[in-house]
């Protein structure tokens, strides 16, 4: 464990750069570029036990590389750094990951800063102490890259917030560019980067997938000395994405407006109704179409969500139970009709089943600026701002206008912008989207509309809602790793037993 194969990365001479370029890597043309050259000899070799989804523990030996900064001019390298883990052997059998897909697993939560600078190995445990999806991917023979990123709370000595929007997505794009710049030096296939993230990290992963190579980010990337190359990713895995933030308050009231708060209190009915009406208008303006439903509106969205995502989720859950366990569940949940192997129920009964909503109204652009999202859209020395006209005008009067920079900043943070307003041909074409049916951190429509739009664009989309699961759930991590193999055509280390728990 922890054998040091090489110390700190040596300073690179021009001979090394030339050699790297000759190996097929991007030529390092400037001093700034030189600092971005990955050193393939700077790793520690480690062996860990990784428990797969069937409960078998595998001995995995891997090379662990710490990259001190993935940009030439970091604002704060503690966040703008990344770690690379490359499998060498699994249970004693050699693994060649030199051309394997790369899982780019961000660890962003709450739009907070995330750092991997002090990590001494792959982050092997995931939610609830289980095996992380990164570790499963490593054991499957894939390269795992864990990037840090700036987040909304970071503030410098002058009181300037330097991790608010769009810093985190700019950093993740810079990490992608770093990998591609180092093609031929960094292990793995830089044209098969699969992004992953959960919640705010899921939102950023979706955004990374949707916005690949968009020129809108270029000034921000130039400012931090990001490599001058493509930041497109091949595939995007997004768990409970907290995204489409400027429409999220309205969507929330459409979805959870009738549900009480956990305290038993009900939200302000006037606010809820006003936001709900905004969602009707927004959805109508989107003109999203879904096969069999035509244009989605608030007249058919509940039925569409039920039939496309939520009832199939219940069906999968119930079908996987023993007859006895299913009978017990159905007896305790009489709102579900189980017939011919399928679960059906009404939207209203489903909402009652979910119970308390997690957030007050407005859920994201809170009147008192107390939410993570108001901070996310802070700027300069201003910690938090309103980013919707509704909340701004509620507080500042009917003639108030959003700060001039906000419309563009919102676009930089919203995958839907890159899929609807400006359809991005360089987006990822393979998508894995997951959400728990009891997750009221955002509207259940958010992931559904993302998936629906991508499907409409002809992309390959694997969407599933996890029945009765809450925020942050990942009930089929083995399936995701298998999916990486399917979409990239790279089988990985061996065929693995999948889990079908969703
Ligand atoms: C996260 C959760 C939220 O409810 C939110 O508004 C933003 C981020 C999170 O878990 O990352």
Please tell me the distance from the alpha carbon of residue 206 to that of residue 197, in angstroms, as a whole number: 8
Q: What is the mean predicted confidence (pLDDT) over 279-304?
A: 98
Residue 16 in this model has a pLDDT that exceeds 80: no
pLDDT tens digit sequence for 48-75: 999 999 999 999 999 999 999 999 999 9
- What confidence category does residue 407 fall into, taking pLDDT thresholds of 50, 70 and 90? very high
Measured by CA distance, the residue closest to atom 9 of ligand 1 is 110
The closest-lying atom of ligand 1 relative to the alpha carbon of residue 202 is 11
Please identify, in words, the CATH class of the domain defined by 3-244+423-488.
alpha beta
Give the nearest ligand 1 atom to 442 CA: 4
- DSSP letter (8 states) at residue 368: T
Helices (DSSP H) in 211-310: which residue ranges? 218-223, 245-256, 269-286, 301-305
**Among 298, 345, 286, which Cα is nearest to 443's?**
298
* Cα atoms in the Cβ-side hemisphere of radius 13 Å centred on 70: 34
Q: Token pair 């939610």 is at which residue?
A: 127
* Ligand 1 pocket check for 109: Cβ under 6 Å: yes
- At residue 274, the 3 state secondary structure works out as helix
Residue having the nearest C-alpha atom to atom 8 of ligand 1: 110
Question: pLDDT confidence of 493, banded at 50, 70, 90?
Answer: confident
Query: Mind listing the pLDDT tens digit for each residue in 327-365?
Result: 999 999 999 999 999 999 999 999 999 999 999 999 999
Q: What is the pLDDT of residue 266?
A: 87
Q: Which of 350, 342, 349, 315 is nearest to 502 (CA)?
A: 315
pLDDT at residue 17 tops 70: no
> 21 pLDDT exceeds 70?
no
Return d(Cα 321, Cα 327) in angstroms, integer. Answer: 9
Q: Could you state, in order of their start, the residue ranges of all structural domains in the chain? A: 3-244+423-488, 246-287+357-413
Q: Is 151 in the pocket of ligand 1 (CB under 6 A)?
A: no
Return the best residue to mutate from 106, 107, 108, 109 for the ligand 1 pocket (most ligand atoms within 8 A of CB).
109
pLDDT at 291: 96
Q: What is the pLDDT of residue 32?
A: 63
CB 445 within 8 A of CB 301: yes
Q: What is the mean pLDDT of residues 368-383?
A: 98
Q: Whose CA is nearest to atom 4 of ligand 1?
A: 441
This prediction's pTM: 0.93
Is residue 167 helix, strand or coil?
helix
Average per-residue pLDDT for the chain: 93
Atom of ligand 1 nearest to the CA of 472: 10
Which protein residue's CA is at the shortest distance from atom 1 of ligand 1? 110
Cβ(413) – ligand 1 distance below 6 Å: no
pLDDT at residue 463 tops 90: yes
136 falls in which pLDDT band (50, 70, 90)?
very high
What is the DSSP code string of 50-109? EE-TTS-EEEEEEEEEEES-SSSS-S-TTTS-EEEEEEEEETTEE---TT--EEEE----
> Which ligand 1 atom is nearest residue 363's CA?
6
In the block, residue with structure tokens 């179409």: 289
Ligand 1 contact via 470 beta carbon (within 6 Å): no
Probe target for ligand 1 pocket from 372, 375, 413, 471, with the most ligand atoms within 8 Å of CB: 372
492 versus 95: which is more confidently predicted? 95
- The better pLDDT of the pair 13, 146 is held by 146
Round to whole Å and give the CA distance between 138 and 37. Answer: 23
Handedness of CA 23, 6, 226, 411 (dihedral sign): positive
> Rounded to an integer, what is the distance from CA 411 to the centroid of its chain?
17
Instruction: Check pLDDT > 90 for residue 22.
Output: no
pLDDT of residue 268: 97
Within 10 angstroms of residue 405's Cβ, the number of other Cβ atoms is 12
* C-alpha dist (Å) from residue 395 to 150, 182, 284, 389, 400: 29, 49, 27, 10, 9
Q: For the residues 68-90, what does the mean pLDDT come to? A: 98
Does position 181 have pLDDT exceeding 60, yes or no?
A: yes
Tokens of 495: 């065929």
| Nearest-atom index, ligand 1, CA of 109 | 11
298-307 average pLDDT score: 98
Q: For residue 111, how far is its CA from the centre of ligand 1 (angstroms)? A: 7
| Side-chain half-sphere exposure of 130, counting CA atoms within 13 A | 15
Tell me the two tokens of residue 202.
Answer: 């899921």
Q: Which pLDDT does position 369 carry in this prediction?
A: 98
Question: Which atom of ligand 1 is closest in space to residue 108's alpha carbon?
Answer: 11
Confidence at residue 272, expressed as pLDDT on a 0 to 100 scale: 98
Q: Is the peptide bond before 293 cis (omega within 30 degrees of 0)?
A: no
CB-CB neighbours of 400 under 10 Å: 13
CA distance 73 to 67: 14
pLDDT at 406 over 70: yes
* For ligand 1, atom 7: residue with the closest CA: 110
Closest atom of ligand 1 to CA, residue 441: 4
């Amino acid at each position: 464990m922890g054998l040091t194969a090489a110390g700190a990365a040596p300073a690179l001479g021009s001979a090394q750069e030339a050699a790297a370029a000759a190996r097929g890597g991007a030529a390092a043309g400037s001093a700034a570029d030189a600092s971005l050259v990955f050193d393939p000899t700077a790793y520690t070799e480690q062996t860990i036990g990784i428990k797969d989804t069937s409960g078998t523990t595998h001995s995995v030996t891997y090379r662990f590389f710490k990259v001190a900064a993935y940009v030439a001019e970091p604002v704060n390298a503690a966040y703008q750094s990344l770690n690379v883990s490359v499998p060498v052997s699994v249970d004693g059998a050699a693994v060649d990951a030199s051309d394997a897909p790369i899982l780019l697993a961000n660890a962003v939560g709450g739009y907070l800063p995330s750092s991997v600078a002090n990590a001494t190995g792959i982050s092997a445990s995931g939610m609830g102490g289980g095996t992380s999806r990164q570790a499963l991917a490593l054991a499957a023979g894939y390269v795992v890259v864990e990037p840090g990123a700036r987040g909304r709370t970071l503030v410098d000595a002058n009181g300037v917030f330097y991790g608010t929007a769009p810093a985190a997505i700019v950093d993740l794009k810079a990490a992608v560019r770093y990998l591609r710049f180092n093609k031929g030096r960094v292990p793995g296939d830089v044209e098969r980067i699969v992004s992953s993230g959960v919640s705010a990290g899921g939102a950023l992963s979706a955004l990374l997938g949707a916005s690949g190579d968009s020129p809108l980010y270029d000034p921000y990337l130039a400012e931090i000395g990001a490599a001058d190359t493509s930041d497109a990713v091949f595939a995007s895995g997004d768990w409970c994405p907290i995204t489409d933030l400027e429409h999220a308050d309205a969507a929330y009231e459409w979805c959870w407006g009738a549900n009480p708060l956990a305290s038993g209190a009900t939200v302000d009915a006037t606010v809820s109704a006003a936001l709900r009406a905004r969602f009707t208008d927004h959805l109508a303006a989107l003109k999203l179409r879904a096969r069999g439903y035509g244009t989605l509106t608030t007249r058919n969205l509940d039925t569409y969500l039920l039939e496309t995502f939520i009832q199939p989720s219940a069906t999968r859950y119930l079908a996987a139970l023993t007859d006895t366990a299913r009978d017990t569940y159905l007896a305790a949940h009489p709102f579900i009709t189980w017939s011919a192997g399928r679960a059906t129920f009404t939207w209203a009964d489903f909402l009652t089943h979910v119970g308390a909503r997690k957030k007050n109204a407005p859920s994201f652009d809170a009147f008192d600026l107390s939410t993570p999202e108001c901070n996310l859209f802070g700027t300069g020395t201003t910690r938090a701002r309103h980013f919707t006209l509704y909340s701004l005008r509620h507080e500042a009067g009917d003639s108030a206008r959003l700060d001039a920079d906000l419309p563009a900043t919102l676009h930089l943070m919203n995958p839907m912008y890159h899929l609807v307003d400006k359809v991005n041909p360089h987006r990822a074409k393979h998508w894995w989207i997951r959400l728990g049916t009891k997750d009221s951190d955002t509207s259940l429509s958010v992931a559904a509309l993302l998936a629906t739009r991508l499907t409409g664009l002809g992309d390959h989309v694997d969407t599933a809602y996890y029945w009765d699961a809450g925020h942050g759930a990942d009930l089929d991590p083995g399936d995701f790793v298998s999916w990486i193999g399917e979409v990239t055509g790279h089988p990985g280390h061996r065929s693995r037993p999948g889990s079908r728990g969703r």
